[in-house]
């Protein structure tokens, strides 16, 4: 299978997972910053809600643009070639005939 005919559902699932992963990473970074006495000037539950929404949007955009790259790695792991000129899928980590 090549890049053009890979299942859209698998690609969407990989991007959704990547978005969730990035969102959790950003949420953890904000929590660590608050623990260390981060931005108290504009703190509060309202700002926390806006930061959460912003983090979610950043995670979605990073996933859609491929900036983070986790979805691409997952697609390669599942055996889908990224090169549209390739004639067969690349192997997984267990199949070292790459």
Query: What is residue 41's predicted lDDT score, i.e. its pLDDT?
Result: 59
Model confidence pLDDT, tens digit, residues 43-93? 666 778 888 899 999 999 989 888 888 988 988 888 776 555 555 444 444
pTM listed for this prediction = 0.64
Query: What is residue 48's predicted lDDT score, i.e. its pLDDT?
Result: 81
Three-state DSSP string of the chain:
CCHHHCCHHHHHHHHHHHHHHHHHHHHHHHHHHHHCCCCCCCCCHHHHHHHHHHHHHHHHHHHHHCCCCHHHHHHHHCCCCCCCCCCCCCCCCCCCCC
Model confidence pLDDT, tens digit, residues 4-48? 555 788 888 999 999 999 999 999 988 887 776 655 556 666 778
Query: What is residue 42's predicted lDDT score, i.e. its pLDDT?
Result: 60
């Amino acid at each position: 299978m090549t890049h053009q005919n890979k299942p859209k559902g698998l690609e969407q699932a990989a991007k959704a997972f990547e978005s969730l992963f990035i969102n959790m990473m950003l949420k953890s970074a904000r929590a660590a910053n608050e623990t260390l006495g981060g931005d108290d000037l504009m703190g509060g539950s309202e700002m926390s809600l806006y930061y959460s929404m912003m983090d979610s949007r950043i995670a979605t955009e990073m996933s859609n643009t491929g900036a983070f790259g986790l979805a691409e790695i997952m697609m390669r792991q599942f055996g889908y070639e990224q090169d549209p000129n390739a004639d067969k899928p690349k192997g997984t980590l267990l199949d070292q005939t790459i």
